[in-house]
Copies of this chain bind each other. A is one copy, B any other.
């Protein structure tokens, strides 16, 4: 857990979280972890440089008006290592990650851009395999790759393939989904079992064996979100718990809306293989990355119907209510343990496993 992370050089799982955060003279791996250090880079460097409106949007999808259309617009770069892993590849991630960012605004992705940064010497067969995975994932997600770019850097200045995708999609009328809309009384739902992507990457990268191959949950959530919106357009918040896991997602929402969040550890669906791997590795599944899950804050009166709609969708079959939004402890996430106690679920500082997406 982040509060127990060493403060010096990276350890086995890539913790590199010097304290204090301020006054880093150089970028460390933790700045890319999607936790407190990433947020600090955004707040202190990018937001002042780019201007005010972007502040609340950086790292999420932006909702814009253009030519009378209400669009969601989002980007992610992908630097996952290895390029291929059980359940997916960097090409799948590059589609599903950006499609999911758009879906978290309620938008169905329509078009993707795609930028390749190739390292000199990478096999063209590998580039081809990644491109085909990307194309296949785009077809599954119902999104079209509309424009692209290729750059090549010298050997030793890359790692085979880095990818960037940006996506645009239409936000349906009447839909206004953003972290600031969480209100006390909202029911917190997670769409399925957590931790699979992170444990899958970790197992293949570190050569760990957990008895059974653990597959990434990498998937496009546009269809699941459409099914939920068919119940009610009034979903308050959607978030895909990628880097930093469920813990980071819930903390960002609590902080953005100024509300408290309580969850029941017992209610959070953790598959046995993830629980076992995390027990062996000393990790908390709430901090492990997902690539095909969402967390939803839903008005109480719609919660049962939304949950039923999720159960009816293949990607929501294991959806569960895990907690609620409260007036107590604003900005803070509190978990009830199976033994009746409570603990604070912190925003992770850096990253458990660098280059997970």
A contacts, CB < 8 Å to B: 24-33, 38, 41-42, 45-46, 49-51, 53-54, 57-62, 64, 66-71, 73-79, 110-111, 113-125, 127-128, 131-132, 134-135, 138-139, 144-154, 156-159, 162, 164, 166, 168, 170, 354-355
Contact = CB atoms under 8 A, between A and B. Distances in A.
Given A50-B135, A146-B57, A354 B168 contact: no
B164 A111 contact: no
Contacts of A73: 111, 113, 146-147, 168
Which of A30, A68, A125, A149 has the most chain B CB atoms closer than 10 A to its own CB? A149
Contact of A54 (B53, B148, B150): B148
Contacts of A150: 31-32, 38, 41-42, 46, 59
A177 to B, nearest CB: 15
30 contacts: A24-B124, A25-B123, A25-B124, A26-B122, A26-B123, A27-B120, A28-B120, A29-B152, A32-B150, A41-B150, A42-B148, A42-B150, A45-B127, A46-B114, A58-B148, A60-B147, A62-B146, A64-B111, A66-B168, A67-B71, A67-B170, A69-B69, A73-B111, A73-B168, A74-B113, A75-B113, A75-B149, A77-B116, A154-B354, A156-B156
Contacts of A120: 26-29
A30, A154, A355: most-surrounded residue (chain B CB, <10 A): A154
B151 A79 contact: yes
A75 B50 CA distance: 18
Main secondary structure of the interface of A (DSSP, over half): mixed
A25 B149 CA distance: 20
A354 to B, nearest CB: 7
Contacts of A123: 25-27
A51 B145 contact: yes
A146 to B, nearest CB: 4
A127 B27 CA distance: 9
A144 B139 CA distance: 30
Contact of A25 (B57, B67, B125): B125
A118 B164 contact: no
Given A26-B121, A26-B124, A127-B45, A66 B154 contact: no
Contact of A62 (B50, B111, B116): B111
